[in-house]
Amino acid sequence: MLIGIDDTDSKRGMCTTYLGTLLKKALEQELNETVQLRLVRLNPTIRFKTRGNASICIFIRHSYDVQDIVREHIERMAHLDDDNTHPGAVFFDDDAIPADIRCFARDAVHAELCLENATELIDGHGLDFLSFKSGRGLIGALAAIGATVENCSSYELIAYRFERNFAKKRYINEQSVWRADAATYPYTWDTLDRKGEAVICAPHSLDPVLYGIRGDDPNQILAAQRKIISEPFQYLTLYRTNQGTDAHVRPAQIRELEEGRSYKVTAAVTRAPWTITGGHTFVLVGDSGARLLCVAFEPTKQFRTTVRELRVGDKVVVQGSYVKNCLHLEKLRVLELCDQYKSGNPICCDKSMKSLGQDKGFKCSKCKAVKDVRLKCQVSIKREVAPGAYEVTPSARRHLAEPLIRGHNRGYAVFPSR
């Protein structure tokens, strides 16, 4: 049996994954079997998200009547008094997930779906469900069921605080996190922003999460966790997840872009980058006569340096979320750099010749040759950017964005951000 749950938290606190952890504990005690968990991140630009737009799926090996246990946990733990919290739970008890539910899950990661889309599928397949208030959480709950194991190809180990500490400032020893990162990177990632010298595996909100460690290998994740010195934690839960997979991104041309979705677009730079007050850097690209404004926001830090090195005519792949007619950059791949020139003295013996005065020609300081030329020549400019893929700093990275360090055999250079 699969149980999908979503929309139990609020901006005031709580965490759907925490509910999943307590439900796992309760179900294992009740059923006397091991319960597995999946964490499924949905469209990161959705209007209704609280923080990371996460839903969960609970996997039980056999069929059981567990609706009362799930209902009791949602009623007790969800922030039902919050106007923006509308929990939903869906129960799926067949061997194979139907193609239309798998398609629904893929769409939920990329687009914004209506509640009617979910309820039609739930009714059409005769699935049991629980709905609270408007029941908008049924969208994420059904999507969590439809997400296949293949789509959930990474892991996150989450440490949860004791409830008495929820309202207190977290204690995590920063040096221990640096040691954990040094010992397990690149099998774990986004534990630190090394250039920003910031611990990013711990949230700042008032919720039950103490910290979360993401990676490819559960053994390496556990090794990192054992090195971290922190306040005591009550629970430690390993989630299989679609984080770090770029599952939210679709290839498209500029004319095909829709609001609130994420894309990668192959284009050419049509206007050199510019930076406004506040540090946000913009660049204009185009394909087939259409134009697209792209932005690297100030929190992306050194990523903006790469964007600023672009010049008109460069061929690029820009990737990010399309919001208010602007692509919010998450990644940039430089395909081809156009030649850039500046006016300069002639070259001799691999060095610039010295001027002999206005209209008097140039002389080589090494071989003493003289060129009787009156006009300067065009000298190629060395570019400070190379073809390859670049990404935003870890502290600005979304949960779903795939770190470049995860890629294998891409066929082009990558410049991971640390």
Give the pLDDT confidence of 360-406 residue by residue, as tens digits. 788 888 888 887 766 566 666 788 899 999 999 999 999 999 999 99
**55: CB partners within 8 A, 6+ apart:** 4, 5, 6, 7, 16, 39, 40, 42, 137, 140, 141, 143, 144
Mean pLDDT of 5-15: 89
> Rounded to an integer, what distance in angstroms lies between the CA atom of residue 180 and that of residue 59?
30
What pLDDT score was predicted for residue 376?
63
pLDDT band of 217, cuts 50, 70, 90: very high
CA 331 and chain centroid, separation: 10
Least confident residue range of 134-138, 222-226, 321-325, 407-411: 407-411
> Rounded to an integer, what distance in angstroms lies between the CA atom of residue 330 and that of residue 413?
17
> Rounded to an integer, what distance in angstroms lies between the CA atom of residue 45 and that of residue 261?
7
Length, in residues, of the chain:
418
> Rounded to an integer, what distance in angstroms lies between the CA atom of residue 366 and that of residue 358?
21
Q: Which residues pair with 331 in a beta bridge?
A: 319, 391
Q: Does this model's pTM top 0.95?
A: no
What pLDDT score was predicted for residue 355?
81
pLDDT, tens digit, for every residue of 169-184?
A: 999 999 999 999 999 9
Q: Which amino acid, 46?
A: I
What pLDDT score was predicted for residue 368?
80
pLDDT, tens digit, for every residue of 31-47?
A: 999 999 999 999 999 98
Task: Locate the DSSP E strands across 288-325.
Answer: 290-296, 315-323
Domains observed in the chain: 2-146 (3.30.70.2200), 154-241 (3.90.600.20), 249-339+383-397 (2.40.50.1010), 341-380 (no CATH)
The pLDDT of residue 149 is above 80: yes
pLDDT band of 359, cuts 50, 70, 90: confident
What pLDDT score was predicted for residue 378?
67
What pLDDT score was predicted for residue 375?
59
The pLDDT of residue 299 is above 80: yes
What pLDDT score was predicted for residue 413?
93
Least confident residue range of 19-23, 45-49, 189-193: 45-49
Mean pLDDT in the chain? 93
Least confident residue range of 57-71, 150-164, 214-228, 367-381: 367-381
pLDDT, tens digit, for every residue of 251-279?
A: 999 999 999 999 999 999 999 999 999 99
What pLDDT score was predicted for residue 379?
67
What pLDDT score was predicted for residue 197?
86
Q: String of b and e for 255-281 (b: at least 16 CB within 10 Å)?
A: eebeebbbbbbbbebeeebeeeeeeeb
